[in-house]
């Protein structure tokens, strides 16, 4: 009887421990050349070229715990931060949290506590195409993301390579909702690629970080940003 109780307690302890462990995924970033991008704006073109060179020094991390995740920029360049622009060209606006089916994306240009709430990406097209990434067999899935400007709507391609053998439906920059961890993600000309995975990380995070945030819709964010641009003209 006592032995049975001991086994139950021991099993409960290890169950709690396993639920609490954090998985840490480190990604690098590459910015690919895109023909004629910013050809009519020399300032943005120069910033892009510098960002393409600096991108290989960048590190992003994804933390997974209890079905939730946090994605964030882990390092920043220390030299000449006044011209620091790499996140601008990889569609990264700040930390990203996923809680169940909701995605909270920080809009750091408006403030550290300003977040945009969306649902997880849907309508993935999963193909039979495969490739090995760090000896993990990954499957290709495609989608699009939409950018709405005052005069035009742009639909940019998204390609994800996910691994069913790592059964976590998360990935970089708020992407997920696939039957496996995303090891590589391309949004337009920005490519996130996995560098290493730590299945028992000492890093930690909590959704309590979202307790005091202000949540906007995408339309509300766009209106605020557009108003700020017009006021600064």
Over the stretch 26-70, which tens digit does the pLDDT of each residue have? 999 988 766 666 666 666 666 666 766 777 888 999 999 999 999
DSSP E strand boundaries for 114-189: 114-119, 125-133, 136-148, 153-163, 181-187
Q: How far apart are CA 201 and CA 129, in angstroms?
A: 31
Lowest mean pLDDT segment, chosen from 38-47, 56-65, 76-85, 172-181: 76-85
C-beta neighbour count of 214 within 10 angstroms = 11
Q: How far apart are CA 161 and CA 127, in angstroms?
A: 10
Question: Which one of 15-19, 107-111, 225-229 scores highest in mean pLDDT?
Answer: 107-111
Domain count, the chain: 1
- Please report whether residue 112 resides in a domain: yes
Q: How far apart are CA 187 and CA 153, in angstroms?
A: 16
Domain with 113 in it: 24-231
What the block records as the tokens of 169 is: 């439906």
Averaged pLDDT, 97-126: 91
- Please report whether residue 55 resides in a domain: yes
- Please report whether residue 195 resides in a domain: yes
Confidence (pLDDT) at 215: 92
- Residue 1 pLDDT exceeds 50: no
- Please report whether residue 5 resides in a domain: no
Which position has the higher pLDDT, 24 or 153? Answer: 24
φ, ψ (nearest 5 deg) of residue 181: -65, 135
For the entire predicted model, the pTM comes to: 0.79
């Amino acid at each position: 009887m006592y032995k049975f109780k001991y086994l139950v307690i021991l099993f409960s302890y290890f169950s709690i421990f396993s639920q609490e462990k954090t998985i840490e995924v480190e990604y690098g970033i590459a910015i690919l050349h895109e023909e004629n991008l910013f050809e009519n704006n020399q300032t943005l073109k120069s910033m892009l070229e510098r960002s393409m060179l600096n991108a290989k020094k960048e590190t992003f991390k994804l933390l997974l715990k209890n079905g939730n995740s946090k994605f964030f920029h882990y390092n920043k360049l220390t030299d000449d931060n006044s011209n620091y622009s790499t996140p601008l060209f990889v569609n990264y606006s700040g930390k990203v949290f996923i809680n169940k089916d909701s995605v909270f994306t920080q809009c750091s240009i408006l403030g550290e506590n300003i977040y945009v709430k969306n649902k997880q990406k849907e309508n993935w097209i999963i193909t039979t195409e495969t490739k090995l990434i760090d000896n993990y067999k990954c499957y290709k899935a495609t989608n699009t993301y939409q950018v709405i400007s005052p005069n035009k709507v742009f639909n940019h391609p998204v390609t994800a390579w996910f691994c069913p053998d790592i059964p976590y439906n998360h990935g970089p920059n708020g992407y997920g909702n696939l039957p496996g961890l995303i090891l590589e993600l391309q949004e337009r000309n920005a490519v996130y690629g996995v560098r290493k995975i730590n299945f028992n990380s000492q890093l930690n995070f909590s959704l309590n970080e979202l307790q005091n945030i202000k949540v906007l819709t995408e339309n509300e964010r766009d209106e605020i940003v557009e108003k700020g641009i017009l006021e600064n003209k």
